[in-house]
Amino acid sequence: MTGTIDAEVRLLAAIAYGEGSTADVEDEIAGIAHAVVNRAKAWGNKKVSAVVAGDPNYTYAANGKNDRFNVLKAASLAAINKSKGMRIAINAAREALAGQGHDTSNDAYWWDGIDLKDKKSFNPRIQHGFKYGEPEHNIFDMDEITKPVVTYWQAKNPKTGQLENTKERGRYDCVYRSTAAHGKTIFWRYTPEYVAATGGKEYK
């Protein structure tokens, strides 16, 4: 690898390298890089740095406490050339930002590593439920989590001035559906049912 490394490329590569497992699985690292770029593009073609700033909980690798993230952020070109994983991450970041390469996340916007098994209450998949798009995505041998919700259109009551539920808008039983799984990472998007029932943005 030669030449300078653009700041956005280095940031994205550090996220993908930091969030990926230590086995340095190419499809896993590339999938994370593409997932970040997918969300950045959907979110008004934002820069990766703007996505990270706009959603501080999006990637925990970038919080300054992830060793692999910090190593790549500070690595010289010589150090990167000596590391298979960092080379994969830089190449994946360059391709994802250029709209090239194979999106191994399968159009995902989010991902989880093995810490999903901890079932922490703050994890969005644990909070709001998930299903697997394909059985082979269940790499951690975890049951799906469903939390049925019904949403309604609302209108103001002319007598009370208060908003009240009118007809049903939609229903869903989980917010996330997996799109792929590589290494020790599962990739996610919102379910179409959730988006339709809430009118939410697919990338937020």
Within-domain flag for 1? no
**Shared domain check, 164 and 129:** yes
Helix residue ranges, H only, 98-146: 124-128
Domain final position from 84, 105, 126:
105
**Shared domain check, 91 and 32:** yes
Residue 142: domain span: 114-198
Domain final position from 51, 80, 105:
105
**Shared domain check, 157 and 91:** no
**Shared domain check, 47 and 13:** yes
Look at 178 and 56; give whichever has higher pLDDT.
178
Sheet holding 110-112, edge to edge: 110-112, 185-190, 176-182, 130-131
Is 11 in contact with 18 (CB distance < 8 Å)?
A: no
pTM of this prediction?
Answer: 0.94
pLDDT score for 2: 62
**Shared domain check, 14 and 101:** yes
pLDDT score for 161: 85
Within-domain flag for 46? yes
- Using one digit for the tens of pLDDT, what is the confidence trace for 64-102? 889 999 999 999 999 999 999 999 999 999 999 999 999
pLDDT score for 159: 84
Total tally of structural domains belonging to the chain: 2
pLDDT score for 27: 98
**Shared domain check, 150 and 93:** no
**13-22, 53-62, 84-93: least confident range:** 53-62
- Using one digit for the tens of pLDDT, what is the confidence trace for 152-184? 999 988 888 898 888 999 999 999 999 999 999
